Amino acid sequence: MKLRNILIIFIFTSLSLAEEWVTNIYNNYANAVVVVIALVDNGCLGSGFIIDKTGLVVTNFHVVEDINKIPEIGVVKLDGSIHLATDIIAYDKDIDFVIFKIEGDNHETVKLGDSDEIQMGDDVVALGHPKKEFYSLTKGIISQIRTKDEIKYFQHDSSIEGGSSGGPLFNNKGKVIGINTLIHKYRTAGDLGYAIVINYITNALKQNNITLSTFTDRGLLSQISPTSKNQDKIAQNRRINKGQDVSAKSREAVEPSNNIESRSSILCDINVAAQKQSINYHQAKKQNLVDLKLDPKNSTAYLDLGITLLHLQSNYEAIDNFNLSIDLKPTNQAYYYRALAKGKLGKHYEMCADLRRADRLNHRQSKNIDDLVKKYCK
């Protein structure tokens, strides 16, 4: 009889703790999941997740839709803060992913897994913003692993709705193993979930020689043995069923800001204005290219094109043109704007070096440059 009671307690405790990982994923990684705002035909809102503390964000390509719209892309985080995109790092339209960089640093990140290790029947959790129900968490399993047209993806039964696209699919170890997507060219039924395997992102980073400065390489929160203080919590966890929305439960630990919806709407409105402004910059870019065709040795034309590209958030391309301008004729303006571009990319040391060069060439007559040196390059 005693042995039977021990077995019952052991089984109950094991089942309870086995489901604790679902809540732990939310508590550990909700701060690294973002609302992606972009002006696209199929809506303004999607999901995404941060993979590096410098602000590298992953989402579906169809959420962004057009990489030339980088000035109109931004994210809203769990605390309601807004961070605008600064550059496109890598993308694949056919596979349907994009990696872009946002402002700021020291962002919280998810941990990437190896999608080749996933098997049918594995437990998974999707985290995203279906139908503007921000930071919703749903649990399911891998229903099938499929490959078509040489593109590998997971079929799973976690709930995926409009707004979920681009969000992370976690395994029970707390690692992201897929990118959820609602729009899938192989979709055969409306109630099936799909996720692009995460190894496409890992490979894209390797191909672009990008080494992540951090993985949030912590394990899930340690499991807690049943006590009188956490019996209610464990009982709630036992009610988490496959495909059940558990966002309300998880928000007890990390409550999304009430400002997320309003700030998402504000960002959409801002992006409409930004899109109109970007049209002017695209027209200016065309004129800059015409000027360079007429005079390929015109250092000022390269400078003007670089400044235009800087406004369009094409920072790497802008730097290339500032380099050409400097090669032809070093000026304080060329160094100054190249410094701004490098600053946007988080290259602090190179930014300060260019600011000092600009300051010297300007004989310290520009108070603006001198103030920037004093503020950022002590």
pLDDT in tens, 144-178: 999 888 889 999 888 777 778 899 999 999 999 99
In the chain, how many domains are there?
2
**Hey, what amino acid is at 168?**
P
Which stretch, 59-73, 281-295, 315-329, has highest mean pLDDT? 315-329
Q: Are 167 and 25 in contact (CB under 8 A)?
A: no
Predicted pLDDT of residue 55: 92
Do both 177 and 117 map to the same domain?
A: yes
Rg (CA), the chain: 24
Give the tens place of pLDDT for each residue, 100-153: 998 888 899 999 999 999 999 999 999 988 877 888 888 999 999 998 888 899
Which CATH number goes with the domain that contains 221?
A: 2.40.10.120
Q: In angstroms, rounded to a whole number, what is the distance separating the alpha carbons of residues 272 and 268?
A: 6
Q: What is the pLDDT of residues 256-294, one digit of tens each?
A: 666 666 555 555 544 444 444 555 677 778 888 888 888
pLDDT for 158? 81
pTM of this prediction exceeds 0.75: no
- Does any domain span residue 314? yes
More confident residue, 371 or 119: 119
The CATH number of whichever domain residue 372 belongs to comes to 1.25.40.10
83-92, 124-133, 325-334, 336-345: range with highest mean pLDDT: 325-334
Q: What is the pLDDT of residue 347?
A: 78
Q: Tell me: do 212 and 72 sit in the same domain.
A: yes
Any domain includes 74: yes
Return the pLDDT at 314.
82
pLDDT at 306 over 80: yes
Residue after which a domain boundary falls, among 252, 281, 314: 252
In this structure, the answer to whether residues 111 and 242 fall within a common structural domain is yes
Structural domain containing residue 187: 2-252
Q: Which of 200, 227, 252 is the last residue of a domain?
A: 252
Least Cα distance to 52 among 11, 4, 89, 93 occurs for 89
